[in-house]
Every structure is written in C-alpha cells, then in structure tokens.
Chain A
Amino acid sequence: MTDIQNTLYPIAPELIVAITACVVLVVDPLLPRSSARVWLPAITVAGLVAALAAPRFAPVTGLYFGGFVNVDAFTTFFRAVFILLALFGTAVAPAYLFRKQVPEGEYYATVLFSTLGAMTIALSTDLITLFVGLELMTIPVYVLAGIQRRDRFANEAALKYFLLGAFSSALLVYGFAWLFGITGSTRFDEIAKSLQATGIANGPTIIALALITVGLGFKAAVVPFHQWTPDAYEGAPTPATAFMSVAPKAAAFAAILRVLVSGMGPLAVDWSSVFAVLAAVTMTAGNIVALVQTNTKRMLAYSSIAHTGYILAAVAATAAGPSAGAAVLFYVFAYGVMNLGAFACLLYIDLEGTRGATLDELNGFARREPFGALAFAIFLISLTGIPPTIGFVAKFLVIQPVLDAGYAWLAVVLALNAVLAAFYYLRVVVHMYMYDEETGAPLLVSSRLLSLSLGVSALAVVVLGIVPNSIYQWALDAASPVLP
C-alpha cells in the first residue's frame, strides 16, 4: 500500500486529469442534454482544480517508475501552467458549445486528454515518455480542430493539421531513432553524457539534431514549419482555438527544453545560432503576415507565430545560463494567459454566420460591450509588450539573455518586431474604440462565466505586470533542472 502511495502520489495530478477525462466520457451519455451542459464543465473544472491542488499537500520531487518519470521544479511549473490553461479554456467554452451545437462531452474530454499529454511531456526523462506525451497532447487537438463536423473549414483545418502533424511526428521519431543509435540510450541524462564524450557534432548527430529541430519546430509553429497554424486556428471552434494556440505551444517548448537544452545541451554551440536565425525569421514572418490580415482570428494566429519567435530567441540564448530558461518559462506563462484571453474575447461576437470576426465586425465594440473591449484591449496591449503588463516584463526578460549570449542583432530585431506587432494589435483597438458601429453588425453574446474568466485574467495580466517578482522567481527555480 505504501508502495503504491509512494509511486502513485507523485503523479497524482496526471492521474486525476486522466480519471476526470474518463468520467466525463462515461457520464456524458448518461446525463440528459440540459444537465450535461452544467455538469460536464463542472466535473472538468473540479478535476482540474483537484489536480492543481493535489501536489500541494506533500510536495515530492525525484525520479519515479524506474526513472521514467521525473518530478522536479520544471515539472511542477509546467503542470500548473497546463492546468491553468485548461481551466481557462473550459470556463469560457460552455455558452459557445451550446450555441454552435458542439458535442460537449467530447470537447471537455479531448481538452483533458490533451492536457494530460502536455503534462506527461513536462515530467519526461526519456525520449519514449516524451514522445508518448507529445502524441497524447497532439492527437486530441486534431480532434478539437475538426470537432464541428458539419463545417467544411473545420474539416479542412483538421485534415491539414493532422497530415502535417503526423508528418512532423514521423520526422521527430526518426530523429529520436538516430539519437538512440548514436548514443545508445533514450534517457536525456545519458544522451547528454554520451554527446559530451563524443565532443563536436559529426554527420549523424547533425542529422539527428536537424530532424528533431524540424519535428519540434512543427509543433511549436516555427517558420518555415508553420503553415498549418492559421487554418487550424481559424477552423477550430473559438474556445478550442484559444486552448490550442497556447497549450501545445507551451508543451512544445517544454519538449524543446527537455530534449534540446537538457538532452542535447552539449551540442548547444551547434544549434543555438541556427535557433537564433530561426527565431528572427519566425518573428518577422509571423508579424509581417499578421499585418495584412483583416480577420482577427487569423491575425491572432499569425501573431502567435511571432510569439513563437520571441520564445525561440530565448531558447537560442541558453549560453546565458539560467536567465534564458527563466525567460522561456516566464514568456510561456505570460503568452498563455494573454493569448488565451485575446482569443476568448472573440467569443463575444462569434455567432453563426461570422467567421472569426473581421476587423469591421469589431467596430464600436467598446460601446456595445465596454467590459469585453477593455479586457481585449488589455490583452492586446500586453501582447504588444507595453507596460504595465505581463507581456512587457516577458519581453524585457527575453531581451536580457539574448543580449547576454551575444546576439545583439537578435535583440534589435526583436524590438523592431514589437513595433510591427504594435501596428496590427493596436489596429484592433482602433476598430473597437475609434470607429462607430456599422448597421447590421452581428449581435453580441456574453455569458457570466466568460466575463468572469476574462476579468480575472485581464486583472492578472496587469497585476503580474506590476509585481512580476514571484512569477519570475518561480520560473527561475523551475528552469534550474534543465538549465543549471
């Protein structure tokens, strides 16, 4: 009994999420439709809160399951981030799902399974655990993208996402195979040891490195592996878009930190300059394409590519030490809150017949829904990186290791990119606040739960932008296992 306690308690959050997902699936057909609308999100939220609270009672760290599971500060950080994102993604969904006739049970279960996958990535010590986690995270997201079965855009989105995702997984696993062949191990620490012994990169290690970079690049939407992003984001139901724009990206960066930074750390000299170039290309391309979008959902999709570039810049700067890891984690957290919030704000106007809010549909939004507009404006200002918001602190923290690692040019590119981004983010504010409503503008829908979650997260964006110290300290601690 104590043995079970000792081995199962450390992964209690994962177990709770898994059980909750199964409960949702089982309960769904048993409940009448009207009560399912209330009970399914309630069960999901309860499960997630329990998962968030479980490790608080007796914090444990260490290796479990014969070394396949590693619970450390890094794991704890990402667990909390994924659970919070899933909570937010659940809280904003009910009204929309009912309106658009999306099957509720399947929606919540897929979100939960995807969260479980992401959490598994965070606790992986091994290529196999990591790959299982990655697939468990991605496959439910393919389903989310296509969950509106009768919508042809959703079908296109799901198919595109699935094909490219499967392709990238194949590349990744092939890269893992090369890595195993070279180092003779699937464990990150032994891979690192073996690579350390080999010294400089040779042909096979470069092949492995390239395949893994491309594979993980797909998941994180790094240019030029980003083509699936806009269609998938646009086709998916908006609450799902909000979730899938942040959770898989955060998970991809958790994987990058585990595999590349801690496993292939000895090769950092080889991959970091490549990552610096990829980061510059990613942020610039994402921003330039976002500039010309007239559809807010697509614009936010491209802008999320630009944010991948910012985070990647910090990854490239691992030579700067722990501050780089802390910057990645802090940015992932900040990006998660503000981007999810921004997508969720579109729920106010996402009605039948509109496809993801054109800019013109947002005209006069501030008069019609002052609260929602204010929250949206705060998220956009934070995404731009203007103080006093968490987005600004995140940018500041990213610039710092980038300069420290000697990539002054990348820091300047990053700063100028933020100006480009300001143009299209603030254009949304222009439409909301400075144009008058047009006749025939779509009706607004608001739900109390949506407003509540937006209010809480908008407040968090500002408050954590003014007093960021605790989160930064947390990120710094969490980064230490992967980047000492």
Chain B
Amino acid sequence: MTIGHVLTLLLVVPAVGLIPLALFRGDARAAKQVAIVTTFVELLLSLVMLAQFKVGEADFQLVEQADWLPSLGIRYFVGVDGISVLLVPMTTLLTFLSVLYSSGGAIKDRVTAFMASFLILEIGMVGVFISLDLFLFYVMFELMLVPMYLIIGIWGGTRRIYSTLKFVIFTLAGSLVMLVGIVAIWLASGPEGSRTLSLPDLLAIRNRFSAEFQFWVFLAFGLAFAIKLPMFPFHTWLPDAHVEAPTAGSIILAGVLLKAGGYGFLRFALPLFPTGTQLWLPLIIVLSVIAILYGAAVSTVQKDLKKLVAYSSVAHMGFVTLGIFVLNAQGGVGAVLQMLNHAFVTGALFLFVGIQYERTHRRVIADLGGLANHWPLYTTFFGVFVLASLGLPGLSGFVGEFLVLLGTFQFGGVPLGGLFWGPLAAIGVILAAIYLLWMFSRVMYGPARDHYKVLPDLSPIEVACAVPLLVLTVLLGVFPQPAIAIIEPSLDRVLRLATDPTFLVALR
C-alpha cells in the first residue's frame, strides 16, 4: 500500500485527534478511545511509511517540501533515511503503548488533558526524527518540551514540581543555546537572500564553515543534545524527572525523548561540522565512558527501583554517544541499534516498575521481595527485559552494545585509543549484570510479604502492552540483520561526511 505525503500525514494525524478530544472535553472514556484510535492509526501509518522505504539507499526518501518563511529561506522540509526510518515507528509504537497502558486505569484525573498532551508530544517526537530543515527541527524539538512538562508536573509523584521545572530549565538552557547556533549557521550559509537552513543545502556549502566557527557551533548544538541525551555531567535532571513522572511519561521520556539527543548528533552535528567533531571528540569519548561506568556504579547503590532504571539509562546512553563518536561503521550502527534497544527495553522496564508500583505502592527495593511466586507472568516478562537490558546474547541489548564495543576497540583516535576505552566500557556491561540481577533477585525472590499475596498478576491490557516490546526485543536480538541493512547505507554516508578529509577545514 502506498500513501502519498505519508510523512506530513504522520504530523497531521495526532493534530486531527485533538479535535474530537476538545469536543468530548468532559468525557474521560471518550478521550481514552479517541487517543487510542489516533495513536493506533499513527502507528499503522508509520508502518506503511516503513514499508514504502527503499532499503539499501543512503539518501533521504519520501521527501516533501514547501515554502514556510520564504523571505528567510526557511522551508517545511521532511524526509527519512536509514537512521530515522526506524526511529519513527519506534516512537509511534511507544506512544500507542503508553496511551493504551494509561487508559487501563493508571490515569484517573484530567484524562482529556493527559491524552491531549500525549498527542501534541507525538507530533513533536515524530517531527524531530523527520525534519530536514533546522528551523523545523528546532520547533519540533521544543514542541516536545511543554507536553512533557505538563505530564510530569500534573500527573507525577510528590516532588513532581521540582522535577518538572528542573527538566524544563535544563532542556531549555541547552536548546536556546542551540537556537543561537542555528541562527549562526543561517547567517553563515550565504549572502543575504540566499540563506538556508535545509540540511542538504547546508551540506553542500559546509566547507564555508571555518574551524573556529565549527568549534563554537558544535558546542552550541552539542550542549542541547548532551542535555537531552543526557550525557554526564548534564544528567542530573534525569533521575528526578523519571522518578516523579507517571509511568507513561517515563516510558516516553526514556524511550523517545533521550533519543532525540543522539539522533541530533548523527543527523546534524557530525555531518555539518566535521572539524568541530574532531575538536570535541576526545572530550565526548571520555564523558561517554564516564557515563557508562558512573551510571552503572550509581545504579548499583540505588535504593529506589525507578531511580535504578533511570541511572541505567545514563549508562546505556553512554554507549550511544561512544558508538557515534568512535566514527566507524560498527560503532555507528551499534549506536542506532542501542537507541532502538534502549527504547524497547528501558521503556518496558519503566512499564513494569510502574505496574508493580501501582499494585504495591512501594518503589524502595528493600520493601519488595518474593513477587515471583505470586506473579508468574510478570516475573517472566520482567526477567526477559532485565536480561535484555544487561546485554544477554540473543536479546536486543547484546547486538547494540557488542557492535559499539567492537567499534570502540577499532577506534584509533586521541586520547589513548580504543584499546584503552574498549575494555573500560566493557566493564560497564559487567556492572550492568551485577546491578540488574541483584535488583531482580531482591525484588522477585525471597520471602513474600503477606499483603502482596493478594495482588493480581498482569491484566490483559498490560500483557498487550508488554508483548509487542518483548517480540521486538527478541527479534532485534536474534535477527538484527534487516535493521542493520536499513541503517548501514545512511550511516556510512553520515560517517563519510563526518570524516571526509577534503572537508576537514585546516586546524589553526
């Protein structure tokens, strides 16, 4: 089935869903139904988009463009390539599952507003992955902010207001600096009247960017992405935001919003500023390895289950930045696979922590225990996701981390080279096994408390949410080749652009 303007439709569908939501304002049941239908249609549409994508081509496909601000040369310009084409269905799937789970009773208050926030959020998330004009990208990047701010702030836990403000202020600080960077690129893109912000045009003229310019603009972009990702030491908003966010919010935050940072590096920062990349690369490699080790170490000592999963995200995203910045195909493909894997697995872990919390109202690991005997279904699912998260071969976590490590070992750049950083990062994998298995044993085994014995196992709706994630985790682990085939050509192109010696402006 081919649908024309499929990418634009992907942006329009959630917006259309807002109309019936506004009409049925007072009716929680109708709001849930509208949101489920809308996000499901969006999911189907993204799968159609995936089917229309021609595997093996490196360039952007399904491109659509139109004038937006013609006097400034700003265009509405969307398209997907191998890097983004998988991230879009990932987004729509997680959004659908989040909405489905939240409709099952997790959200009782102001349901319409919650669903409306999710639909606006979905426009922003899909938009980020398909925008090829920097102005459009920035608008979408920021469009994700306000709905998530409301989702954490209204439906979150006890310290929600502190957490949500911290989240917004951190993110905004990064992205506003990026805005200055975007304007600087716009001004550098040519003389008055021929300026542009669309990515292909910018790639054609990027040799105009001097080394000093690239240094500063890469910093401006890098800050925004590093905060979003989050990279050590900009990660401090993440544990707060995750702990206080409602379950659906955590799933989306970990599953999709963090990816916007890694994606931003791959899509814009690397190909546009090859020299800037070289200048900042040593620092980013060091910070990535610190993130892997620090995230893992801090996860080990967490008392709070949700905080543990949150800090493990810091470590997992460290693999993503490491894979991107070792600048070779294995690392890059590994980073994209790790993004997908992290979305499904950590999304699932937050889902299961949420399910558990909703029943026991406990999140402190010491208060839990013995759940395995009463919740066989829950234990099975949760166990598989924990194993995937620690990188067990055969599940999705392994493929990404393995490829990233492979790439890191081959990394020949400064400082110290891959043979130093590779083994250090590998220690992170071992630490992951320690904190995840230890957590699992403390939460699931041991003596059960009496009042947990009456709590029910997974409900059908919860199983329905978990199954797609489980299938994808296994598929991506056993059979990663189709995904790699989609990612690789485009990733090679990005790496060629980022490392092409003819474009590397001479350093002073």
Chain A contact residues, CB within 8 Å of chain B = 321, 381, 384-388, 392, 395-396, 399-400, 403-404, 408, 411-412, 414-416, 418-419, 422-423, 426-427, 429-430, 433-434, 467-469, 472-473, 476
Contacts and interface: CB of A to CB of B under 8 A. Distances in A.
A429 B152 CA distance: 13
Contacts of A473: 71
Contacts of A467: 68
Given A412-B180, A419-B176, 9 more contacts: A386-B146, A387-B143, A388-B143, A400-B183, A403-B187, A408-B180, A415-B176, A423-B165, A434-B154
Interface stretch (B166-174, B400-408, B487-495): B166-174
Contacts of A469: 68-71
Contacts of B142: 386-387, 392
Contacts of A404: 187
B139 A472 contact: no
17 contacts: A384-B172, A386-B145, A388-B143, A396-B179, A400-B187, A403-B183, A411-B183, A412-B177, A415-B176, A415-B177, A416-B173, A418-B172, A422-B169, A423-B169, A433-B153, A469-B69, A476-B71
B153 A430 contact: yes
Contacts of B183: 396, 399-400, 403, 411
Contacts of A433: 150, 153-154
Interface in B19-46: none
B165 A419 contact: no
Contacts of B154: 433-434
B51 interface: no
Nearest to B152: A434
B165 A415 contact: no
Interface string B51-73: 00000000000000000111110
A153 B375 CA distance: 66
Interface in B165-204: 165, 168-169, 172-173, 176-177, 179-180, 183-184, 186-187, 192
A398 to B, nearest CB: 10
A50 B287 CA distance: 64
Contacts of B186: 400
A381 B149 CA distance: 12
Interface residues of B, number: 33
Contacts of A414: 180
Contacts of B146: 381, 386
Contacts of A388: 139, 143
B184 A403 contact: yes
B136 to A, nearest CB: 10
Given A387-B143, A418-B176, A419-B176, A472 B69 contact: yes
B161 interface: yes
Contacts of A468: 69
A480 to B, nearest CB: 13
A384 B145 CA distance: 12
Nearest to A388: B139
Nearest to A430: B161
B150 A472 contact: no
B72 A472 contact: yes
A411 B180 contact: yes
Instruction: Sort A-B residue pairs by CB-CB distance and give the 4 closest, nearest first.
Output: A415-B176, A387-B139, A419-B173, A434-B153
A426 B169 CA distance: 10
A368 to B, nearest CB: 13
Contact of A426 (B139, B165, B180): B165
A131 to B, nearest CB: 35
A416 B169 contact: no
A408 B213 CA distance: 12
Nearest to B25: A370
B138 interface: yes
B160 interface: yes
Contacts of A411: 180, 183
A419 B138 contact: no
A403 B217 CA distance: 13
Contacts of A423: 165, 169
B160 A434 contact: yes
Contact of A472 (B71, B164, B168, B184): B71
A399 B180 contact: yes
Contacts of B160: 434
A384 B150 CA distance: 16
A473 B491 CA distance: 39
Contacts of B150: 433
A404 B164 CA distance: 35
Interface in B57-96: 68-72
Nearest to A386: B142
A392 B145 CA distance: 14
A427 B69 contact: no
A184 to B, nearest CB: 36
Contact of A422 (B68, B161, B172): B172
Chain B CB count within 10 A is highest, among A404, A408, A415, for A415
A484 B260 CA distance: 41
A408 B183 CA distance: 11
Contacts of A399: 179-180, 183
Chain A CB count within 10 A is highest, among B71, B169, B180, for B180
Contacts of B68: 467, 469
Contact of B138 (A387, A408, A418, A472): A387
Contacts of A434: 153-154, 160-161, 164
A412 B161 CA distance: 27
A469 to B, nearest CB: 5
